[in-house]
Homo-oligomer: A and B are copies of this chain.
Amino acid sequence: MYKRSIVLTVLLGLGILVSAQSMPAKPAPPQAGVNPVVEKYINDNEQKHVQELMDFVSIPCISSLPSHAADMTKAAQWLQTKLQSIGMDSVQVMQTDGNPVVFAQWNNAKGKPTVLLYGHYDVQPVQEALWTSAPFTPKLENGRIYGRGASDDKGSALTGIWAVEAMLKKIGKLPVNVKFLFEGEEETGSAHLGAFVAAHKDLLQADAAYSADAFQKSDTQGAMIMSVKGASTMEFSLKTANRDLHSGVFGGRLPNAAVAMANIVASLHTPDGKVAVPGFYDKVTPMTDEEKHMAATVAYDEQKELTAYGATAFTGEKGYTSQERAWYRPTLEICGMWSGYTADEGFLNIVPASAHCRIMCRLVTNQDPIEIMALIKKHINSQLPEGVSIAWKDIGGFGIAAAKAPGNTAAFKAAVAVLTQLYGTAPVLMGTGGSNAATSVLDKELGLPPYSFGFLQEDENFHSHNEFMRVSDLQKGQLAYCMLLNYIGNQKTK
């Protein structure tokens, strides 16, 4: 059972310990209900929602690929059109130094709190050969919508929009003021979100914030993420000559870029699984007792996880459990490495003259992602063998700070109450190995850590191939958002 949550651990996160056990399992407050007319409307429009999501998913807005710049604009405009059509005000596609942000608000609930709903429209790249259907030609099959972004985060983001649409259409008003904020750079580290939010504090100010970039623990239990990791990504190339060289003529006497890369990558970890970059752990905050407790008590079947992913052994830093490593220890992974002749078939008898590597670190509280990148760069530069030169690629500002979110706010308690009512059981409180810049950005700039309020599930292959979203969760998500807005509308949340 726990396997799910450790895998779902991808997206948004909150913080500070409120154990699942200590959460009062109070009966559902009446104010969190859904108007039956609204509920009927949501149910009657399932087919329309599926069609809309498929339409949205068909836009290949991959934020890490410069060649898809036009698709980013197209996706932002798609959201703009949708938000205008449901009666939101001030709908704007707002420029940043990167991909645009889409903003909308509805400010007619005089005297009521304002709720900021965050999501992102950009998606991960695809390795199309691995997909069983075209990633940007979505298809509906067995109650699932397949396509890149169907789950992360387009499907989840639309649930909040549809909930507002249903209420405005059937009741003509909302129980609270609502602001939508959709960014287009989440998958590349939200390089420009911080500057954007800092520049628009008044526009974005609210009493509570929630993120659709989040997940359920399972069909029958919600999840609240208490911490997210930070992240740094880097890419570099080695060069040994101006062309690949004949392996007979030059082998054994001019440097091989693949061999140099292997030695450098091998130097990044110690034999006992620690990151070997000097200074990497210097500023790491140790796990708190509460975090240790959380990692130890959230149920987790290691063998089941290994089986599910076809793996046979855990690896990594000694002295910590697998769950502790995932949630509370910093990591350094190679996401891509290539050199020489890499075609599926054939053989080219060369000494490769270049080699390439992509690195991603996941960081914990107090580690500065920029400082960590500098340490890694320094270490790798110091490892260069004779005859090997290095070039670092600027891949945009993927430097996300880790964040914890407070478990004692009214906004947090509202989400817990609604999820408890929705599932009939309290949500699980947990950490995550995933990263999301919005957590630290909205907390820092607005004092509004966005609490997880999304309806993805772990097996939906986000970031991998054959990503999908369950239609049933699209419907569940809409009801949940209606409940949340109603709940907050009946109490002061800040």
Contacts and interface: CB of A to CB of B under 8 A. Distances in A.
A339 interface: yes
B333 A247 contact: yes
B241 A309 contact: yes
Contacts of A112: none
B340 A334 contact: yes
B266 A188 contact: no
Interface string A220-249: 000000000101010100011111111111
Task: State how many copies of this chain the complex holds.
Answer: 2
A334 B248 contact: no
Nearest to A340: B336
B340 A337 contact: yes
Q: Which of A10, A336, A434 has the most CB of B within 10 A?
A: A336
Nearest to A239: B310
Contacts of A241: 309-311
Interface residues of A, number: 102
A315 B240 CA distance: 11
A335 B249 contact: no
Contacts of A329: 252
Interface in A24-75: 62, 64-67
A252 B316 contact: yes
Interface in A247-285: 247-256, 258-259, 261-266, 268-269, 273
A180 B51 CA distance: 68
A172 interface: no
Contacts of A244: 127, 464
A249 B349 contact: no
Q: Which of A62, A264, A266 has the most CB of B within 10 A?
A: A266
A240 to B, nearest CB: 6
A358 B351 contact: no
B347 A395 contact: yes
A231 B243 contact: no
A76 to B, nearest CB: 19
A67 B334 CA distance: 32
Given A251-B360, A346-B62, A336 B333 contact: no
A421 interface: no
Given A253-B315, A349-B124, A463-B350, A246 B335 contact: no
Interface stretch (A382-390, A438-446, A471-479): A382-390
Contacts of A259: 265-266, 268-269, 333-334
Given A242-B310, A248-B434, 18 more contacts: A6-B249, A9-B248, A10-B249, A125-B341, A125-B343, A247-B335, A248-B362, A251-B326, A252-B362, A253-B314, A256-B334, A262-B262, A310-B353, A312-B387, A315-B386, A336-B352, A341-B358, A350-B463
7 contacts: A10-B248, A127-B244, A231-B349, A248-B432, A255-B315, A265-B266, A334-B340
